[in-house]
Every structure is written in C-alpha cells, then in structure tokens.
Amino acid sequence: MKVSYIVFICLCLSGSSCAGRKSADDLRTKVAGQWEVSIAGLPFANSFILDIREKDKAIVFDIIQDQSFAELDIKEMRFTEKDGKLSANLYIGEFIKLIIWTEEDIVKGELRASMIGDLPLILKKL
C-alpha cells in the first residue's frame, strides 16, 4: 500500500510540473511571429513592427524600422519571462518597459515610461 501511495504522489508531482511548462510554452508559441504594434495616446507616430522569436531557449525580438521610428535599431533584444508575462527594458531617449502577456488567448501589451505613463499596446498578428 505504501509503495502505491508513493508512486501516486510522484505521478501527481510530475504532472503538475509539466503543466507549468506547458503554460510557459503556450505563451512563447502565442507571441512568436511578426506583430503590428500601435500605441494609443501618443501625439506622434504610433506604430511599428515587432518580430518575436525564440533563440537559444530565450525569447528575443527586433523592432523592424519604418519611417515613423527610423532612429530605432533594436535587434535581438531579450524578453524576461516572469509570472506569465514577457518584459524588456529599452532606452529610446528615456527608459521604457515593454510588457506582453496573454488574456483569454488574446495577446496584449503595455508600454511603461516615466514621462508619458502607462500606455496600452494594440497588437495585430501579421
């Protein structure tokens, strides 16, 4: 009886650790690809292309240049994954934090900056 109880506990523990990995893999899968990102509430050009992919077991992104953000040259910047959200700190004239997460299978985002506050991102998969 003790042996079957121990085996049952081991199966439960291994199953719960696999469930946690699946949710992290789901986030990586859902955010991978190219996204058109719009920033609501900015008085100037407010959209760019974000290319998210996995490289060496890390999630990295590029901001693809367009005319509105021509001075940006961000390549292979790493996201940090914590609490089901991806975040990255950037410097584009001031330090900003880019945060991406999923809610009910919808990818959402936010831009946090000291001078302009928190602005929601609108992400559309290309």
- Domain boundaries defined on the chain: 2-125
Please indicate whether residue 107 or residue 73 has the higher confidence score (pLDDT). 107
If one compares 66 and 78, the residue with the highest pLDDT of the two is: 78
Of 35-44, 47-56, 84-93, the poorest mean pLDDT is in: 35-44
Least confident of 37-51, 89-103, 110-124: 37-51
Q: pTM (2 decimals)? A: 0.72
Q: Which residue's entry shows tokens 């996204």?
A: 35
Q: Is 88 a residue whose pLDDT tops 70?
A: yes
List Cα–Cα distances, 35 to 27, 50, 59, 94, 95, in angstroms: 15, 5, 15, 23, 22
**In CATH, 2-125 is 1.10.287:** no
User: Tokens standing for 100?
Assistant: 């991406």
